[in-house]
Structures are given as C-alpha cells and as structure tokens.
Amino acid sequence: MSSSNVFENPEGDDIANDIPNIDLHLSSDEDNDDDMDDQVVLFSSSDEYMLGEEIEDDLDDDYDFRDALRSAGNFRTKKKLSSSKSYWKRKMMRSDNRELDPEVRILLSQANEAFVRNDYQVALNLYLEVIKKDAKNFSAYKALGEIFKRQGKLNECCNYWLLAANIHPWNSPFWASVAELSNELGHIDQAIYCYGRAIQSDNTKNPKYIMERALLYKEKGQFGRALEGFQKVHRSFPTDSGIIKNLASVYVEQKRLNDAINLYMRILDQNMKSAPKQKLSVPKFGWPELNILCELYIQQHSWRIGIKVIKLVARWIQDRTAETWWDEVDDDSEFDSRRSPILDSLSEPQRSIARQKLYDIPVDIRFKIGYLRLGLEQKEEALRHFEFLLDEQDDIADLFFEAGKILEAHGYHEDALVYLSRVSMADENGPKVVSLLGKCYLEIGDYSLAMQAYRSLLSADPDNVDAKLALAEALYHLGEVDESLQLLRDVSTVRDTGVLQKAPEDSNTEPMEVDVEENLSLIKSKQLMRTSRSAKLSDEEKMELEDSAKRKVLEKYRRMQRLEAANDEVAIAAWIQLASQLVEMFVNVRSFFPRDKNRAFKGIVLYRRKKQMGLDEKLARVYNLYDGIVSDESYARLFLTSTTEYRGLSYDDWFKIFVQYAILLAKYDKNYEDASQVIEVAMEVSVFIQDKTKETTLKMVSLIFGVLRGDSGNSVMTNVRYFLTANQFSHYIYKFFMCCFSSGVEAWETFTNYNHQKFFLRQLKTYDSIITKKKITGMATISADLSGTNFSREHLELLYVYANLLGGTRSYVSSIVYLNRAYKEYNQDPMVCLVLGLAHVHRAMQRLSTNRHIQILQGLSYLLEYQQLKEKSSTVYDVQEINYNFGRLFHMLGLLSEAVEFYEKVLKMHEQIDDKNYDLLVEAAYNLSLIYNINGNSKLASDLIEKYLTI
C-alpha cells in the first residue's frame, strides 16, 4: 500500500517540504510473513548500489550461475530470500559502518546537543536538515519521533518511527514498539503491518508478537488469520488458558460452536484421565473453564447436555465421581439441602463418605444451571438456583441483570422484578434495565411504576418511539388521557412524515466515517469493524433470534388485548400503532405469499415477501428493527413448519389482527385507502385465503370499504361478484346485491353495467334450464349444490334484479316481459307491482310508444294494486312512502295539482316519524318547492325552503 508522507505542523510549517523525496513502499499484505520480496522499503538514489552490495554478499556465500548471467547482461538480479541467518546481521553491519558525510555528522551533533538541552524546535529543524542531506539516517528519524512524543503529538511520532523502522528493518523490538503505539492510536492495519515486520526480522518468531497480531486480527474481524496466530502460540504454550479462551472466542465468531466445545472437552478429558501429580500438556480444568463451557452450551441451546456436563465436572472437581446415584435424580438436589433425604436412603458407608464431600458450587455455575433449566421450561428448578444469587455477598450485578433478563424473556415478569430491582442504574446496562423494568411493570399491571420507568427512559432517549407507546399505555390506564393522547400524536406525526430522529440500535448500519486522527497514519485501515449484512447465521443464532421475536410478538399482543377492553380514542390509537408493527412483521414472511394460492400451506420454509406495504411502513419497519422482530433473508426459518401458529399466535389471532386493524383504520382514522390495502394484502396470504370463512370475511370487509368510499365501479363490483358466484340462486344474496349500490350517477352506471346484465341473464338461463330440465344456449355453469332441492316456481329475486337492470338502461319493454313472469306467480308482492307499474308508465312516455294512454292506465292499475298491498298492516313509514311515490308519479306525468296533494300529505306525516333517516320530508319539500316556483308562487316556495330545507 502506498501512503502519503505529509504531516501536519500545528505551527503552520509544512514539514513535508523539508523532507527529501523518498519513494516509500509499505506493504500491508500479511499473507506471507516470511517472504521478504515485498518488504524492501525506503529506496533512495543510492538504493541500487546498496542492493548490489547485498546481492554480491549473498553470491559470496552461495554462488548462483544464473544470477551471474543476469548481472553480466546488465539485468537486475533476483534478491536472495531473507531465510539466511546472516542476512540481517550483514545488513545491520553495513548500516552501522556506513560513513557519514562530515557536514551531516556536524549537523547531527548539533541536533543531539539541542535535544539534550530540550530545545526541541532547534533540534527538529537540525534533524530535518540531516534528513535532507542523508535520507537514510536512522538516528534523525528516531529522534524526530522522540521529540514529537515528548510534545504529545503521538501520530507524528508514530509516523517518524515507522520510517526509522524501515531503515533498520532487522530491529524487531523497535518494530514492536511502533506496532504498540499504532495500536494505541487506533491504526489497526498499521499495527498489524508492524507486528508482521517484527516477526519477520526475529529469527525466534517471538510468540508475543504473534499473539498481539492475532488479537488485532480478531479485533478487525479477520478471524481466519487470528485463528492461525492463536494456534501458533498455542503450540508454543499449550497450557496457557488465556490462549485457549481466545481460540474458543474465534471459533464462536466463526459459528463453530462444536469446535469450541470440543476444545474444552478435550482439555477436560485429559485432566480427568491424568494422574493427580502428573504434568499436563493442557491447561488445568477448573470452575472458570466449566463456566465458559456452559456458556457455549447455552449458545448452542444444548440444555440437557449442559446440565449433564456441569454435574459430571462438579463431581470430578469435588471428588464425588463415585456418587453415580445422582444420575437417577432428575433435579439438582445434589447441590443443595435437598440432598439429605436421598443420602439417608443410601447404605451407611456410602452415606458417611458422601456427607464428608463438598457439594456447593460457585454462584456463576449455579446461574448457568438455572439458565439451562429455564431453557427446559423447568421454572421451579431454575428459580431455586437463582435464589442463591440473593444471598451472595459479592457484587454480582451482572448476574442479577442476566437472571432478570431471561426470566422476563420467558414471561415470568414478577420473578424478573426481584432480580432487576437489585441492579444499579448507574452501570452500562442502566437503560436496558429500565426498559426491562418498564415491560415487567406493564405486564403485571403496575402502571404507576411502569410510567416512572418509561419517563426515566425517555429522559435519556427522547426519540425512543417504542417507549413512547408504552408510556402512553401506562398513562392511559392511570387516567392521564390528555398526555397519553399527546404521545400518540407524536408517534403518529413520525408515522406520517416517515422520519425518525434516532436510528435503531439493532439495525445493520453502514460503516462509520473514519476519524480524523485515522488520516494521520501512513498505512490506512482498509475498513472499520461492522456487522456484515451478509454474514451467515448458525442454527443456534437463528433459533435465538426466532425466540426473541416470538417473545416480543407475544408481549405486543398482550398489550393489545389489554387495550381492547377500552373503547376510546386513546386506547384505539395505541392499539393501531401496535397492530401496525405486527402486520408489517407478518407480511415480511415470503412463505405466506406463494405463487400458487391453492397449494396447501405447509409451514414457513423460505425467507420473506419482497412486496412492500405502503401503510405505516416506515414507522413499523423502524419499530421492528429496533425490537429485532423483522424477518430477514439472513434469518432462515427452516425450522418453522407449524400450520397452526406463527411466533406464538395462532393464525386465527393473526387474521383477527389484520381485520380489526383495517376496520379501525377506516372507522377512526378515516383512512380507507390504507385499510383497503391491509385487506388486499391479507387476501394474498395463503393461510387466510385457503379458509373459506376467512376469505368470505375479507371479501365482505373489502366490499364495505368500497361502499364507504364510493368505489362502486371497482371494489364494490369486484367483491359483490364473488358473493354472487359463491352463492348461486341465493335469495338473500340477490337482495344483498341491490343494497350495495347507493344513489348517484356513478352508482347507477355501475349497477346497470352491461357485465351485470350479461351475468344475470346467464344465471336466469341456468335457472330456466333447471326448471324446464333442458339445456339453454348461453347458460352459466351450475356451481350450487342442488341436491335435495326441487325448483318448481320462478325465481322472484333473480327476475326482479334482471328486470331492474334492464329498466336502468331504459329497456322497458324487456323489463316488462320479465316482470310479468314474476307477477304471474308473485302478484301479492307490492314491489313487483310498483316496478311493473313504473315500467309501463316510463314506456308510455317514450317516443316510440304506440298507445301512450292505455300504457299509462295499465301502469296506474299496477300502482293502485301496489297501494292496496302496501296498506295492509302498514306502518306510518309505509303510508308516507305510498304518498311520496304517487306524488312523484303525478309530478313526472305533469299532473301537478295531484302531485301537490300527495306531497303535502308527506309533509303532514313528518311529526309521526321517529327515525329521521327514513323520513321523506326533505325530498317532498324540495319537489313541492320546484312546482311552486314553476307556477310563479315563489313566496310559498321560499316558505317551504326556509321551513324544511334550511339548517
């Protein structure tokens, strides 16, 4: 790697201008530690001569005919490898015996005198003059570095020493010093390079340098090279437990838990097989090593194996290996007071020997057993071990925190509070402890303490959105509605703008910007440490992530259940925010959205759905990243195959969340677009759509949203067709179809759409074919189950709907034909009489009518028949309807006097109407005012408008 040698002078001078032009080659390639071909540095104008001297010396020791030919042909000869033991010695002697120019010697002497009397600026200038005249003067570079070190300018010191080290490359201790200083300054790559040069120039291959470089590789994330270094040192010091621990940590980072476990198990095996005073070739295995081994088993989720190993090692350490009777006991009574009854059942010799043995174990190991027992869902046994922590006199705040954390994760919130309350808030885990305390208080219903915890959390982190939601819930239960509502508005503002002040802690972030100090190193760091987005996860890590996500989902679902008990604005707003997180998380699972929706759902075996949602997307995604519950392609759910539940919730619960979330968005937020989008996404979920009941519910909710937002041309038409097809010949569904279209031009155009006419005609032909038992051309396929059904009469609702579709397009003649078929068998139905009468009257008013008066008379006869049928057991609403219809009829025919009479009857019935939604007063008053205006009586029309039509 080529690097700039420009240094900053705080006093304004550019030191680089005082340094002669030096071609500096610093290789940071660590692949070949013993290869010196790429390690020659600091070539000045006299380098070729120096190189020739080196080659000549090498030829004296080992003559090479091919190199002699190269030299004779004026070609550059190959440099000898540095494997010769005398290489560095000869080079050092040539450098030390090199004659200095008299002027350089004088300047160097003056500079040294100034340095001794602490006149650093004079010394610095003199040393720079020395370097100008002698670019390979080791003493000048080293002294310059020492000057900058005393002035506190460690970066400049490090750079000058690096140049000096390249002049004397055989000086291993000096290389190590430069490496140590580079590491202190954070120049990791430069430190690795320097340790590599120190190792090269040291024939003994100092293990200390190898160890330090391996630690730097580990810090940098280059675990393969770190492992190689640790293994080299381990071969030299096989009994060093610290090296073993570093080896195990690298295995863990490489997702090689089995290798780490086997490393310690081999040590344990050799310890157990060795004689008491036999010298071991491995570290001594004790409680600290057992603690590390238990941690590995916990990471691997090997709960039972971990407990067995603890018992085995504890008996071995305590000289109780003969107590095999404990293997028959399924609990951990051998480590506490419960052991006495079991010992009493033994023979006298066994009992007397067993009572003399130690059986207590360190508190760290007790905690690990409790953790493992909790992994097996053995709560009582785990709590028995955790209780020992409460009696411990030493400072074990970290164990209290871990115990509370895992108890809360398993849903034991009251038990978790016992341990979390003992953790100091002043340590680095303070915010995490407060968050866990808030969750526990919220779960057990102690909303006052939950409020205090979340207020404390928000005081330190005001932009924590999840804490705001939790605080809003606690405040709501405490009756602080206004403040709770304000918090929810703040969260909604974030949702609407899609901007968050704080990036989630658990999200994968881009590499941080390089610190300014980093730019002062000669060898730049290639990259800073960061979590790789493409890093593969082990099965244990996948399971741990899944368990964490499951816990968070259940926690949010419990909070939603508590909020469901209330029915006010605050509770609903909080419920919507929580539901948005779960919905976003659910739709990120690709397995729920197969290409073939008819294929039976067999569990989650893929990664996530690529299609993104628009609703609450940015806010929900940040929540989920913050909580760690977003499904990602790196978290393969290969072990999730349940067809009944996902992350602790049944699919019925998930379905309820989707539907209820959509309904609340529409009803309380008036956000019909997002509500419809939620339903559309739900209708693509295979586990929902394959259940006919759920599919029907989703279609119905979607239809309702379409009606509410007036989308009759798309949503209503599409969804109502589903019900018509799924319920062929249903009397109720045909009536339902008529109710789905409101008044207005758009609704009328959709209702009378040609596609509707064609559909109902095909259905009518199918019904006729069933009655006549003949196949009719153009009939629809019979999809209804007709077994046990006898059709002997005309289908009234089917004829009525189709006749109205024809009448809506002014095809009154065809409409009358089908209405007559209905009237033939259903002449006691007032609506058939009304529509048939109106069809005759409308036909009479068309231009091509042959006998207008007879058709009007025919229509009036049907309308009078409608009046008679309607008045039988009629209510005030029926009477008002009759009067209005006749008033509207005469108004249409131009018989205004008769129309006024009926309209006035409608107005007089206004006081008798209880349900104003069904009162025809406004329509009658408006039509009556039109009649008065046309006839010139504007005064009476104004009185009507002021009395009935003015708010």
- For 909-935, what is each residue's pLDDT tens digit? 888 888 878 888 888 889 999 999 988
Please name which of 175, 179, 181, 176 lies closest in space to residue 155, comparing C-alpha atoms. Answer: 181
Hey, how many other C-beta atoms are within 10 angstroms of the C-beta on 263? 21
3-state secondary structure 409-433: HCCCHHHHHHHHCCCCCCCCCHHHH
Residue by residue, DSSP assigns 146-207 as HHHHHTT-HHHHHHHHHHHHHHSTT-HHHHHHHHHHHHHTT-HHHHHHHHHHHHHT-TT--H
CA angle centred on 241, ends 240 and 242, rounded to 5°: 90
In a domain, 419, yes or no: yes
* In the predicted structure, residue 400 carries a pLDDT above the cut 70: yes
Could you give the C-alpha distances from 550 to 606, 629, 630, 828, in angstroms and in order? 18, 8, 11, 62
- For 723-758, what is each residue's pLDDT tens digit? 888 888 878 888 888 887 777 777 777 777 788 788
* Low-confidence winner among 31-45, 94-108, 109-123, 716-730 (lowest mean pLDDT): 31-45
What DSSP state is assigned to residue 600? P
Structure tokens at 575: 């419920």
Report which listed range, 37-41, 146-150, 798-802, is most confident: 146-150
Residue 302 CA to residue 376 CA, distance in Å, equals 10
Could you give the C-alpha distances from 520 to 20, 125, 144, 183, in angstroms and in order? 19, 21, 16, 13
Mean pLDDT of the chain: 76
- For 239-266, what is each residue's pLDDT tens digit? 888 999 999 999 888 888 889 999 999 9
- For 477-486, what is each residue's pLDDT tens digit? 888 888 888 8
* Low-confidence winner among 602-616, 693-707, 782-796 (lowest mean pLDDT): 602-616
Q: What is the mean pLDDT of residues 19-26?
A: 40
* pLDDT band for position 592 (cuts 50, 70, 90): confident
In a domain, 939, yes or no: yes
Burial class (CB in 10 A: 0-12, 13-18, 19+), 825: middle
If DSSP codes are grouped into helix, strand and coil, which group holds residue 587?
helix
H/E run at residue 645:
strand 645-646
* In the predicted structure, residue 496 carries a pLDDT above the cut 70: no
Residue 394 CA to residue 383 CA, distance in Å, equals 19
Burial class (CB in 10 A: 0-12, 13-18, 19+), 878: middle
CATH number reported for the structural domain that contains residue 281 in this entry? 1.25.40.10
Which residue, 405, 421, 437, sits at the end of a domain? 437
Q: What is the mean pLDDT of residues 544-569?
A: 80
Q: Are 632 and 608 in contact (CB under 8 A)?
A: yes
Q: Residue 68: its pLDDT value, please?
A: 52
* Low-confidence winner among 47-51, 307-311, 352-356, 723-727 (lowest mean pLDDT): 47-51
Number of domains in the chain: 3
How far is C-alpha 66 from the chain's CA centre? 65
* pLDDT band for position 427 (cuts 50, 70, 90): low
Q: Residue 274: its pLDDT value, please?
A: 82
Percent of the chain's residues with pLDDT above 90: 6
* In the predicted structure, residue 534 carries a pLDDT above the cut 60: no
Could you give the C-alpha distances from 100 to 50, 116, 215, 431, 532, in angstroms and in order? 15, 21, 41, 64, 53
- For 47-85, what is each residue's pLDDT tens digit? 333 333 333 333 334 445 556 546 555 565 655 544 444
Percent of the chain's residues with pLDDT above 70: 79
Residue 609 CA to residue 632 CA, distance in Å, equals 9
Boundaries of domain holding 898: 874-951
Q: Residue 637: its pLDDT value, please?
A: 45
- For 775-788, what is each residue's pLDDT tens digit? 888 888 887 777 76
- For 454-482, what is each residue's pLDDT tens digit? 888 888 888 887 888 888 888 888 888 88
Same-domain check for residues 426 and 285 = yes
Q: Residue 886: its pLDDT value, please?
A: 92
In a domain, 725, yes or no: no
Hey, how many other C-beta atoms are within 10 angstroms of the C-beta on 405? 18
Residue 423 CA to residue 95 CA, distance in Å, equals 62
* pLDDT band for position 35 (cuts 50, 70, 90): very low
* In the predicted structure, residue 186 carries a pLDDT above the cut 80: yes
Q: Residue 74: its pLDDT value, please?
A: 52
Q: Residue 43: its pLDDT value, please?
A: 31
Q: Residue 495: its pLDDT value, please?
A: 54
Q: Which residue has the tokens 């494997």?
A: 83
* pLDDT band for position 290 (cuts 50, 70, 90): very high
Higher pLDDT, 223 or 718: 223
| Residue length of the chain | 951
* In the predicted structure, residue 862 carries a pLDDT above the cut 80: yes
* In the predicted structure, residue 361 carries a pLDDT above the cut 50: yes
* Low-confidence winner among 505-514, 525-534, 814-823 (lowest mean pLDDT): 505-514
Residue 552 CA to residue 408 CA, distance in Å, equals 11
Rg (alpha carbons) of the chain, rounded to whole number: 45
Q: Residue 48: its pLDDT value, please?
A: 34
Which residue, 422, 437, 452, sits at the end of a domain? 437
H/E run at residue 194:
helix 188-200
* pLDDT band for position 421 (cuts 50, 70, 90): confident
Q: Residue 599: its pLDDT value, please?
A: 54
Q: Residue 185: its pLDDT value, please?
A: 87
**Helices marked H in 478-629 — which ranges?**
481-497, 539-564, 569-587, 617-627
Hey, how many other C-beta atoms are within 10 angstroms of the C-beta on 849? 17
In a domain, 273, yes or no: yes
Q: Residue 575: its pLDDT value, please?
A: 85
Residue 828 CA to residue 591 CA, distance in Å, equals 56
Q: Residue 294: its pLDDT value, please?
A: 92
Please name which of 430, 427, 420, 487 lies closest in space to residue 460, comparing C-alpha atoms. Answer: 430
* In the predicted structure, residue 1 carries a pLDDT above the cut 60: no
Q: Residue 864: its pLDDT value, please?
A: 92
Higher pLDDT, 565 or 175: 175
Q: Are 423 and 433 in contact (CB under 8 A)?
A: yes
Report which listed range, 352-361, 422-431, 654-663, 681-690, is most confident: 654-663
Q: Residue 642: its pLDDT value, please?
A: 67
In a domain, 862, yes or no: no
* In the predicted structure, residue 517 carries a pLDDT above the cut 60: no
* pLDDT band for position 292 (cuts 50, 70, 90): very high
Residue 585 CA to residue 649 CA, distance in Å, equals 13
Contacts with 845 (C-beta within 8 Å, 6 or more apart), sequence order? 852, 892, 893
Cα-flanking dihedrals φ and ψ of residue 650, to 5°?
-70, 160
Amino acid at 435: S
In a domain, 324, yes or no: yes
End-to-end CA distance of the chain: 84
* In the predicted structure, residue 504 carries a pLDDT above the cut 80: no
Cα torsion angle, 939, 941, 943, 946, sign = negative
Q: Residue 600: its pLDDT value, please?
A: 53
Q: What is the mean pLDDT of residues 893-917?
A: 87
Residue 502 CA to residue 462 CA, distance in Å, equals 9
Q: Residue 29: its pLDDT value, please?
A: 42
**Helices marked H in 775-895 — which ranges?**
796-808, 812-825, 830-844, 852-871, 876-893
* pLDDT band for position 537 (cuts 50, 70, 90): low
In a domain, 402, yes or no: yes
Residue 565 CA to residue 572 CA, distance in Å, equals 10
Same-domain check for residues 287 and 431 = yes
Residue 155 CA to residue 190 CA, distance in Å, equals 12
* pLDDT band for position 550 (cuts 50, 70, 90): confident
Structure tokens at 146: 């020492």
* In the predicted structure, residue 607 carries a pLDDT above the cut 60: no
* In the predicted structure, residue 88 carries a pLDDT above the cut 70: no
Which residue, 85, 110, 145, sits at the end of a domain? 145
Q: Residue 887: its pLDDT value, please?
A: 92
Burial class (CB in 10 A: 0-12, 13-18, 19+), 933: middle
* In the predicted structure, residue 310 carries a pLDDT above the cut 80: yes
Residue 768 CA to residue 774 CA, distance in Å, equals 8
* In the predicted structure, residue 211 carries a pLDDT above the cut 50: yes
In a domain, 492, yes or no: no
Q: Residue 715: its pLDDT value, please?
A: 77
Report the predicted TM-score, pTM, of the whole model to 2 decimal places: 0.64
Residue by residue, DSSP assigns 234-253 as HHH-TT-HHHHHHHHHHHHH
Residue by residue, DSSP assigns 459-497 as HH-TT-HHHHHHHHHHHHHTT-HHHHHHHHHHHHHHHHH
